[in-house]
Amino acid sequence: MPEDAPETVLSVCTTCRATGDTAEPRAGARLLAALRAEADREPVPGLRIEGAECLSVCKRPCTVAVASPGRWTYVYGDFDALECAEESARIILAGLRNYQKTPDGLVPWRERPEAFRKGVVARIPPLTAARGDTAS
Amino acid sequence: MPEDAPETVLSVCTTCRATGDTAEPRAGARLLAALRAEADREPVPGLRIEGAECLSVCKRPCTVAVASPGRWTYVYGDFDALECAEESARIILAGLRNYQKTPDGLVPWRERPEAFRKGVVARIPPLTAARGDTAS
């Protein structure tokens, strides 16, 4: 993709703690580190991974959000980052590879990782949506 | 604001049903109608209100999402649209007036309507965030 192409941004909540876990770094920060390591190992073209201070989904740690110009935004929760953060990272990045292949972010249900199906917290239409009622 | 200024979009889930309610139009569609009526009565500059088919927050009807270029995106749930949709609409639009006054969408906690504080489902950083770690 061209260098100036709009990027997809994966925001990883670094404030998330696993239930009952008081360790530092927090589960969310550990998930962020695992995602960066996995993306270094097997890059996802056009994806930028960032830490975010609280995505306000505190009851469903760990939480991530993916946003991309012209695509639906998704928020996912319930990711483990204590037992196997690497596995969570692989699942998330595999899901984002499918997301990147779509023009609008809408991946067919069967092609979504189970963790995305069960863990979806919310989705938000793109600002540039070409919907029927966009004329204001 | 200039005519070509980026708009803030309020997406209202029209798929939302209130718990146990089987009436048509659904609660979400009723909330959308109330929001449009209230915005006609007292416009919010730069705000576009749209219906959306499912925001995937099905356990917390009614649900809305607000997004704006350069601002944090917010998703809110738990809005009543059966007893008093008009009151919900007024609360939402009042909250969005405060949102519109900010450069980044981050309204001070005390200035947020209680329904926004309690009903927040998720928030997502702006794509254009000028955060410290944005260099990829």
Looking at the partner chain, which of A57, A69, A123 has a beta carbon nearest the beta carbon of B55?
A123
Q: What is the ipTM of this complex?
A: 0.89
Chain length of chain A? 136
On whether the A8-124 domain is CATH 3.40.30.10, my answer is yes
Distance CA B115, CA A66 (A): 25
Taking the whole predicted model, whether its pTM rises above 0.95 is answered as: no
Pairwise CB contact (< 8 Å): B122 & A67: no
Q: pLDDT tens across B91-130, in order? A: 999 999 999 999 999 999 999 999 999 999 999 999 975 4
pLDDT at site A82: 86
Q: How confident is the model at residue B22 (pLDDT cuts 50, 70, 90)?
A: confident
**Residues contacting residue A74 through CB under 8 Å, at least 6 positions apart:** A65, A66, A99, A105, A116, A120, A122, A123, B56
Residues of chain B with C-beta less than 8 angstroms from the C-beta of A118: none
Q: Which two tokens stand for residue A4?
A: 């100036």
The residue behind tokens 């909330």 is: B31
Q: What is the rounded radius of gyration, in angstroms, for the C-alpha atoms of chain A?
A: 15
Task: Please report, for chain B, the start and end positions of each structural domain, with discontinuous segments joined by +.
Answer: 8-124
